Amino acid sequence: MADQLLQQAQDLFEGQIDFEGQKLTELFSTIILTITGCLAFGLGFAQGSIWVTLWIGLGGTALAFLVVVPPYSIYNENPEKWLRANSGISGSGIEVDGKKIN
């Protein structure tokens, strides 16, 4: 039972996303942080308040965190097809410490 709980927790927190999902999360975080940074600076400057700037920046960072960090299914739409462990090229001629690796 403990192994099942551990496996479920690992699946929940592992957060597998594909390479396209990584590009998408980078784009989302860049857009969100850029917009909220400019908005925070503009509103903070207009009101003459550093607190406004900091709170808007903090809100934008929290929003970026909520959008980017959880492994939503949109981030795993193009999974990579990996080769099996024993499907390597036999007879490749690789030598390690004088021994041929097959």
Does 93 have pLDDT greater than 70? no
Sign of the Cα torsion 38, 40, 44, 50 reads negative
What local confidence, expressed as pLDDT, does residue 102 receive?
61
Q: Of the ranges 36-45, 47-56, 69-78, 87-96, which one carries the lowest mean pLDDT score? A: 87-96
Q: How far apart are CA 33 and CA 60, in angstroms?
A: 6
Q: How far apart are CA 90 and CA 102, in angstroms?
A: 5
Does 55 have pLDDT greater than 90? yes
What local confidence, expressed as pLDDT, does residue 91 receive?
54
What local confidence, expressed as pLDDT, does residue 92 receive?
62
CB 56 within 8 A of CB 44: yes
Q: What is the pTM of this model?
A: 0.69
What is the signed CA dihedral for 17, 20, 25, 28, rounded to 10 degrees?
-150
87: confidence class by pLDDT, cuts 50, 70, 90: low
Q: How far apart are CA 97 and CA 102, in angstroms?
A: 14
What local confidence, expressed as pLDDT, does residue 8 receive?
78
Does 89 have pLDDT greater than 60? no
